Protein backbone atom coordinates (compact mmCIF):
# COMPACT_ATOMS: atom_id res chain seq x y z
CA UNK A 1 0.00 0.00 0.00
CA UNK A 2 1.45 3.32 -0.97
CA UNK A 3 2.13 5.62 1.95
CA UNK A 4 0.22 8.40 0.23
CA UNK A 5 -2.96 6.34 0.15
CA UNK A 6 -3.03 6.04 3.90
CA UNK A 7 -1.95 9.52 4.85
CA UNK A 8 -3.79 11.25 7.64
CA UNK A 9 -4.87 14.07 5.31
CA UNK A 10 -6.71 11.56 3.21
CA UNK A 11 -8.12 9.30 5.90
CA UNK A 12 -9.04 11.73 8.69
CA UNK A 13 -11.77 13.55 6.74
CA UNK A 14 -13.18 10.19 5.72
CA UNK A 15 -13.80 9.28 9.34
CA UNK A 16 -15.95 12.36 9.91
CA UNK A 17 -17.95 11.57 6.80
CA UNK A 18 -18.41 7.96 7.84
CA UNK A 19 -19.58 9.13 11.25
CA UNK A 20 -22.17 11.26 9.46
CA UNK A 21 -23.48 8.15 7.73
CA UNK A 22 -21.87 8.58 4.29
CA UNK A 23 -21.55 5.20 2.73
CA UNK A 24 -19.31 6.41 -0.06
CA UNK A 25 -16.75 7.50 2.53
CA UNK A 26 -16.71 3.99 4.00
CA UNK A 27 -16.13 2.66 0.50
CA UNK A 28 -13.13 4.96 0.10
CA UNK A 29 -11.75 3.86 3.45
CA UNK A 30 -12.26 0.27 2.38
CA UNK A 31 -10.32 0.85 -0.83
CA UNK A 32 -7.47 2.49 1.06
CA UNK A 33 -7.21 0.07 3.98
CA UNK A 34 -8.80 -3.32 3.21
CA UNK A 35 -5.64 -5.01 1.93
CA UNK A 36 -3.80 -4.02 5.08
CA UNK A 37 -6.61 -5.17 7.34
CA UNK A 38 -7.09 -8.39 5.43
CA UNK A 39 -3.37 -9.01 5.93
CA UNK A 40 -3.81 -8.47 9.68
CA UNK A 41 -6.76 -10.91 9.85
CA UNK A 42 -4.90 -13.47 7.77
CA UNK A 43 -1.79 -13.17 9.91
CA UNK A 44 -3.80 -13.91 13.04
CA UNK A 45 -6.25 -16.48 11.67
CA UNK A 46 -4.26 -18.16 8.87
CA UNK A 47 -7.54 -18.89 7.11
CA UNK A 48 -8.84 -16.91 4.16
CA UNK A 49 -12.49 -17.66 4.63
CA UNK A 50 -12.54 -16.76 8.31
CA UNK A 51 -10.42 -13.70 7.60
CA UNK A 52 -12.88 -12.43 5.04
CA UNK A 53 -15.72 -12.95 7.48
CA UNK A 54 -13.87 -10.99 10.14
CA UNK A 55 -12.97 -8.30 7.63
CA UNK A 56 -16.67 -7.74 6.97
CA UNK A 57 -17.26 -7.42 10.72
CA UNK A 58 -14.43 -4.93 10.94
CA UNK A 59 -15.93 -2.52 8.40
CA UNK A 60 -19.41 -2.83 9.87
CA UNK A 61 -17.83 -2.00 13.25
CA UNK A 62 -15.99 0.98 11.77
CA UNK A 63 -19.29 2.18 10.29
CA UNK A 64 -21.00 2.00 13.67
CA UNK A 65 -18.19 3.46 15.73
CA UNK A 66 -16.67 6.06 13.44
CA UNK A 67 -17.98 8.83 15.68
CA UNK A 68 -15.73 7.57 18.46
CA UNK A 69 -12.59 7.97 16.41
CA UNK A 70 -10.45 10.74 17.83
CA UNK A 71 -7.76 12.06 15.51
CA UNK A 72 -5.97 13.53 18.51
CA UNK A 73 -5.49 10.11 20.04
CA UNK A 74 -4.79 7.75 17.18
CA UNK A 75 -4.10 7.64 13.49
CA UNK A 76 -6.89 6.20 11.38
CA UNK A 77 -4.61 3.37 10.30
CA UNK A 78 -3.77 2.45 13.89
CA UNK A 79 -7.39 2.69 14.92
CA UNK A 80 -8.74 0.46 12.18
CA UNK A 81 -5.82 -1.99 12.47
CA UNK A 82 -6.52 -2.37 16.19
CA UNK A 83 -10.17 -3.11 15.48
CA UNK A 84 -9.12 -5.74 12.92
CA UNK A 85 -6.65 -7.31 15.32
CA UNK A 86 -9.16 -7.42 18.18
CA UNK A 87 -11.89 -8.90 15.98
CA UNK A 88 -9.56 -11.53 14.57
CA UNK A 89 -8.44 -12.49 18.07
CA UNK A 90 -12.06 -12.76 19.20
CA UNK A 91 -12.59 -15.18 16.34
CA UNK A 92 -9.46 -17.09 17.23
CA UNK A 93 -10.65 -17.43 20.81
CA UNK A 94 -14.04 -18.64 19.61
CA UNK A 95 -12.30 -21.63 18.05
CA UNK A 96 -11.81 -22.90 21.56
CA UNK A 97 -8.90 -23.99 23.69
CA UNK A 98 -7.58 -26.35 21.03
CA UNK A 99 -6.46 -23.37 19.05
CA UNK A 100 -3.73 -22.86 21.59
CA UNK A 101 -2.31 -26.35 21.50
CA UNK A 102 0.72 -25.33 19.47
CA UNK A 103 4.06 -24.94 21.14
CA UNK A 104 5.60 -21.48 21.13
CA UNK A 105 8.80 -22.78 19.56
CA UNK A 106 6.93 -24.06 16.54
CA UNK A 107 5.18 -20.83 15.83
CA UNK A 108 6.45 -18.76 13.03
CA UNK A 109 6.93 -15.34 14.42
CA UNK A 110 8.19 -12.75 11.98
CA UNK A 111 11.42 -11.23 13.19
CA UNK A 112 10.56 -7.82 11.95
CA UNK A 113 12.34 -7.97 8.62
CA UNK A 114 10.77 -5.28 6.57
CA UNK A 115 10.25 -5.03 2.88
CA UNK A 116 11.76 -2.04 1.15
CA UNK A 117 8.31 -0.63 0.71
CA UNK A 118 7.36 -0.67 4.37
CA UNK A 119 10.74 0.76 5.30
CA UNK A 120 10.19 3.57 2.86
CA UNK A 121 6.85 4.36 4.42
CA UNK A 122 8.95 5.64 7.31
CA UNK A 123 6.88 4.32 10.17
CA UNK A 124 8.82 5.86 13.02
CA UNK A 125 6.50 4.38 15.60
CA UNK A 126 7.02 0.94 14.28
CA UNK A 127 10.77 1.28 14.14
CA UNK A 128 10.83 2.53 17.68
CA UNK A 129 8.65 -0.28 18.95
CA UNK A 130 10.69 -2.78 16.97
CA UNK A 131 13.86 -1.43 18.50
CA UNK A 132 12.45 -1.50 22.02
CA UNK A 133 11.08 -5.03 21.62
CA UNK A 134 14.44 -6.26 20.44
CA UNK A 135 16.06 -4.84 23.55
CA UNK A 136 14.01 -7.25 25.67
CA UNK A 137 15.43 -10.69 26.27
CA UNK A 138 14.45 -13.12 23.53
CA UNK A 139 12.02 -15.09 25.62
CA UNK A 140 10.11 -12.03 26.79
CA UNK A 141 9.99 -10.58 23.30
CA UNK A 142 8.65 -13.83 21.94
CA UNK A 143 6.00 -14.15 24.64
CA UNK A 144 4.80 -10.59 24.10
CA UNK A 145 4.64 -11.01 20.33
CA UNK A 146 2.81 -14.32 20.66
CA UNK A 147 0.29 -12.83 23.06
CA UNK A 148 -0.25 -9.85 20.77
CA UNK A 149 -0.76 -11.78 17.57
CA UNK A 150 -2.79 -14.60 19.06
CA UNK A 151 -4.49 -13.19 22.12
CA UNK A 152 -3.14 -16.11 24.10
CA UNK A 153 -4.04 -15.90 27.78
CA UNK A 154 -1.52 -16.14 30.58
CA UNK A 155 -2.81 -19.58 31.35
CA UNK A 156 -2.37 -20.86 27.82
CA UNK A 157 1.05 -19.23 27.56
CA UNK A 158 2.12 -20.91 30.80
CA UNK A 159 0.97 -24.27 29.46
CA UNK A 160 2.71 -23.79 26.17
CA UNK A 161 5.94 -22.73 27.76
CA UNK A 162 5.66 -25.26 30.53
CA UNK A 163 6.33 -22.56 33.09
CA UNK A 164 4.38 -21.55 36.20
CA UNK A 165 1.66 -18.98 35.53
CA UNK A 166 3.13 -16.51 38.02
CA UNK A 167 6.47 -16.67 36.25
CA UNK A 168 4.99 -15.99 32.82
CA UNK A 169 2.99 -13.15 34.30
CA UNK A 170 6.06 -11.52 35.77
CA UNK A 171 8.01 -11.89 32.49
CA UNK A 172 5.28 -10.09 30.67
CA UNK A 173 4.71 -7.40 33.26
CA UNK A 174 8.41 -6.67 33.51
CA UNK A 175 8.67 -6.72 29.76
CA UNK A 176 5.82 -4.26 29.35
CA UNK A 177 7.31 -1.93 31.96
CA UNK A 178 10.65 -1.96 30.12
CA UNK A 179 8.90 -1.42 26.84
CA UNK A 180 7.15 1.63 28.16
CA UNK A 181 10.35 3.03 29.59
CA UNK A 182 12.17 2.45 26.30
CA UNK A 183 9.41 4.02 24.19
CA UNK A 184 9.41 7.09 26.40
CA UNK A 185 13.15 7.59 26.34
Partner 1 sequence: MSEAPDLTEAEALAAEHALGVLDARERADAENRMARDPAFAADVEAWRQRLAPMLDSIAAVPAPQGTWARIERRLPANDDRMAPANDNGRLLDRVRFWRNSAMGGFGAAAAALVAALVVGNQPATVVTREVPVQPQGQLLSASVVSQDSRVQPLFVAAYDPDRKQLIVTSLLPEGSDRDKVHELWLIAGKENPKSLGLVESGKAKVIALPTELLAKMADGAALAVSLEPPGGSKNPDGPSGPVIGVGKLSKL
Q: Does 60 bind partner 1 (CB under 8 A)?
A: yes
Distance, in Å, from the CA atom of 115 to the CA atom of 110, rounded to the nearest integer, reads 12
For partner 1, the binding residues in 22-51 under the rule CB under 8 A are 22-23, 26-27, 30, 34-40, 42-43, 48
For partner 1, the binding residues in 155-184 under the rule CB under 8 A are 155, 157, 172-174, 176-183
Distance, in Å, from the CA atom of 99 to the CA atom of 146, rounded to the nearest integer, reads 13
C-beta of 14 vs 84, nearer to partner 1: 84
C-beta of 95 vs 173, nearer to partner 1: 173
**Strand, coil or helix: 82:** helix
Burial (CB count within 10 angstroms: exposed 0-12, middle 13-18, buried 19+), residue 58: buried
Residues 91, 142, 145, 160: which binds partner 1 (CB under 8 A)?
145
CB 45, min distance to partner 1, A: 12
For partner 1, the binding residues in 78-117 under the rule CB under 8 A are 78, 81-82, 84-86, 89, 93, 110, 112, 114-115
The residues, ordered by sequence, that sit 6+ positions from 116 with a Cβ below 8 Å of its Cβ are none
Residues 4, 8, 46, 52: which binds partner 1 (CB under 8 A)?
52
| H-only helix segments in 6-72 | 8-19, 23-45, 48-65
Q: Does 147 bind partner 1 (CB under 8 A)?
A: yes
Helices 138-150 + 124-135 axis angle, to 10:
130
Amino acid sequence: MAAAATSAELLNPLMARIAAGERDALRQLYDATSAKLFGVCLRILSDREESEDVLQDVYVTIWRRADRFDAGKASVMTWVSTIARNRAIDRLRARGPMAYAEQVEELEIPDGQDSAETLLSAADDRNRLQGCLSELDDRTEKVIRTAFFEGVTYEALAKRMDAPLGTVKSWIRRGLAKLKGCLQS
